[in-house]
Amino acid sequence: MRKELQIAIRFTLITTLLFGLVYPLIVTGLSQLLFPHQANGSLVQRDGKVIGSELIGQTFSSDGYFHSRPSSAGDGYDAANSSGSNLAPTNHALIERVQGDVARLHAENPAAAIPVDLVTASGSGLDPHISPAAADFQVPRVARTRNISQDALRALVAKHTESRQFGIFGESRVNVLALNLELDSAFPGKK
């Protein structure tokens, strides 16, 4: 019995060192070597200052910017509180929020159908992307606020539209942060 106990203790110590220390250090080292941008959170910098991540959405409230989809993560896009709202489709709080968003969006662009991703949050609450339809829905507002042509904005949206991953996974999408940064670069001073 004593021999089996010693073997079990040695096995536990060895596997703890291998899988709890050595393996994570190797994976971390390889990721830093091969994919440093992704391994460090795909951070976006402007003038040496981190302004966001390609992977986590953020709130844009000015009419001169494209808006992200709603977030249920904490106070909005709080990575420490990543989650969906867990509200049932019949929950009155969810219904009221969605109806308020629909009314606001309908007033913004009464002739267009409202894309569902502009009134629903993602499962994580952190999604940095919107659909091309959601971006196109916002073009008239952004163009009017910035006093630029809708065609110029649609070209910018098309430039930032990412297709399905590997041509088969997911849907076409637009990264809101990247689009808004390019918007500021292409049309400085017009916010």
Type of residue found at 66:
F
How many angstroms separate the CA atoms of 74 and 157, rounded? 29
Q: Is 89 helix (H, G, I), strand (E, B) or coil?
A: coil
**pLDDT tens digits, residue range 125-151?**
778 889 999 999 999 999 999 999 999
**pLDDT tens digits, residue range 59-113?**
888 888 999 888 777 666 777 777 667 778 888 888 888 888 888 888 888 888 8
Count other Cβ atoms within 10 Å, centred on residue 42. Answer: 14
Q: Indicate the DSSP class of residue 165.
A: B
How does the average pLDDT of the chain come out, rounded? 87
| Unique residue bearing structure tokens 């163009």 | 143
Answer yes or no: is pLDDT of 118 > 90.
Answer: no
Strand 49-53 relative to strand 173-175, pairing: unpaired
For residue 60, which phi and psi values (nearest 5 degrees)?
A: -120, 115
DSSP readout, 37-71?
HHHTT-EEEETTEEEEESSS-----STTSPPPPP-
